[in-house]
Amino acid sequence: MDTATHMLRTGRRGALFEVQMALRDLRASLQRIDLAWSLAWHDVVSRYRGSILGPLWITISMGVMVLGIGLLWGEVFRVSVHDFIPFVALGIVFFGTVTGTINEGCDTFVQAAGMLSQTSLPMFTFVWRTVFRNLINLGHHLVIVLAVLVYFGSWRTANYPVAAMGLIFLVLNAAWLSMLVAIVSARFRDIPQIVQSITQAAAIMTPVFWPPDRIPARYHLILDLNPFYHLLQAVRAPLMGLGVAPHTYLFLAGMAVVGWALTFSLFANTRRRIVHYL
């Protein structure tokens, strides 16, 4: 056996070993998923300790923003308040969940540096921690969703099973995006600023505050290739009693499969170095 062949086989065995260790980390985190939930709950409680209303302060401020944008921009776009306020409310709540999970994902491993260096906890545990923390926040903001659905009567036509399926797609994709930026941010500390700039730009390019039917047909490519639009549409449209285009589900399914494959591969290759980056 020549040296090149030996090195190739050794490299393959090494790559296979890293994948196996990454899978072991994933399995261990799922077996202790309650730990990730406890850490996420502790994060939320600690953040609002000493506050009278706790996280409801954010819910109240978000509700005021929904009301202000709904009334003002509804007049600008000449859209009925009855239709526009639910549209804006659902957009802000679910788009905020996606971008919050991604932005906070940048600090997933950085904030857990002490625990990672002193314990043998699975690294995936801290990814689930970030995801759960934002789902808890979403739970608070659902007060706004329920309020607008009931007040404007959308609850009668909402398709809740389809919306739940859309929420699953949203969480699946937000989770791998959060993990991806967590890995990269552990190595390059200026990544959080870049990610935040991207999510801010996405808020402008995505129909969160503006109706998608108001842009000319020649610009619809902005929507068709915008992952944030598909993530939002999969949840918001059913809750407003509207249908979801089949290509949206194909887009999100492909995005989840490819995204998780690439992110898991990156994790397998960098898993042992992440702690040293920190």
**pLDDT computed for residue 2 by the predictor:** 55
Whether residue 29 contacts residue 128, with contact meaning beta carbons closer than 8 Å, is answered with yes
Burial pattern 123-142, b for ≥16 Cβ within 10 A else e, equals bbbbbbbbbbbbbbbbebbe
Least confident range from 30-34, 37-41, 63-67, 144-148: namely 63-67
Least reliable range by pLDDT among 61-75, 87-101, 172-186 = 61-75
Global pTM reads 0.88
User: For residue 62, what pLDDT band results from cuts at 50, 70 and 90?
Assistant: confident
Q: Where are the domains of the chain?
A: 14-277
Q: Please check the confidence at residue 8 and state whether its pLDDT lies above 50.
A: no
Task: Please state, for a pLDDT cut of 90, what percent of the chain lies above it.
Answer: 45
pLDDT tens track for 178-196:
999 999 999 888 899 999 9
Average pLDDT over residues 103-123: 88
pLDDT of residue 7: 42
